[in-house]
Chains A and B, each alone.
Chain A
């Protein structure tokens, strides 16, 4: 399935959009429809009528529920998975860095205590040790960059369901490599795209008028948040990791 699914043509639901809502009605999964679709049908009688008519037709027919639904069970799961995943990844990153620090401390103390731990290869140059220490300290610093911002996370958790704009990339919690491409569905007004660190410091602001934005900016490894705003209204907030 293409990453960006088009459910609209000329401002109304197209045949896919109507089909998806009918599937949702029949499978009782209206809550899982993209917010953009829900908001459109809320105010559009023309689309409501088409949906009602097709539902009238399909309720007369058997419904095969033996296979997963291509949108609700496949596409949506794929884009939701990272939300759970990124928390795990953040915890893992912190744990790893903590582990490295513990290992270094341990290294320095081993001569004074009975050692039950398995050591790394005995032969190593002082330089390697210094580099290790440097990398470990860096990693420790980076680990701090991976700690989720509770404030922004809260917004993601609460706003994710009511996002006014559908975003195609990056997926929440995705590991990305610069240049990073941000893509979203068409929006009829200019928007402000902001990238924030996990400490909620804005590191990039750009006015966007199309449906994508690419940045070649160098990012330190860490967890980042990004927002789309129009007229000071938050339209979307998501996050991504840079390794």
Chain B
């Protein structure tokens, strides 16, 4: 359930900076608490961090007012600004303070099954990461399915290979439409490569398509884990999350 925040607008920023800063407090709190959970700040640093963010924000408000180009929601923009201030504060103090990620006892969280909440959260994050692959999204999903040995559907084929003929479509479904646990990984990619080549007007081998898949899988894992890593996703956890896409 999203927490209510006040809607920020540029008129308020122009006319009443004091009120604007007040309305930013909820966002600041959410951002700092979020980074406390990741271990970026210790719980004891909460007040100090909020204070530092406010000071920097007050110094920047005039510039934000002058430069805000009005192309995005001001709330989102302030989240980006406050997040960037947090990162800078953290980088400045990184050498001085060592913090540990908060344990569950220290973070007050919602009732209900924490695991299910975490799962939903991570599923949502994976969905966003895949979306950010833009035009490559369907290729990536298809290759992940082959790598994770998950049966593909006609819809998967259609959304990835719009140049495929009926025969080629059948060919892919014949190989990957049902469980294919007993085939060699490289053979699977060798079957896939010519189709991908036709689609992308490319000339790549099964083994380099497999490398491409593994490379992007590790990049997705790295993104989900964050920099510095605050989560511990592996191929296995991504596979579990990814299976949800096929449900």
Contact = CB atoms under 8 A, between A and B. Distances in A.
A71 B72 contact: yes
Main secondary structure of the interface of A (DSSP, over half): helix
Interface in B55-88: 69-73, 75-77, 79-81, 83-84
B30 A57 contact: yes
B128 A55 contact: yes
Interface string B5-36: 10100000000000000000011001100100
Contacts of B226: 49, 53
Interface size class, chain B: 35 or more
Contact of B83 (A2, A5, A16, A54): A54
A117 B65 CA distance: 62
B2 interface: yes
Interface string B127-168: 011011111100000000000000000000000000000000
B71 A75 contact: yes
Contacts of B31: 57
A51 B223 CA distance: 10
B76 A52 contact: no
A53 B125 CA distance: 9
A170 B5 CA distance: 40
A23 B73 contact: yes
Contacts of A42: 132-136
Contact of B71 (A1, A25, A52): A1
Nearest to A45: B219
Interface stretch (A62-70, A100-108, A172-180, A214-222): A62-70
Contact of A19 (B34, B77, B134): B77
Contacts of A2: 69
**A-B pairs, 8 with minimum CB distance:** A19-B72, A42-B134, A38-B134, A19-B76, A61-B5, A64-B7, A19-B77, A1-B70
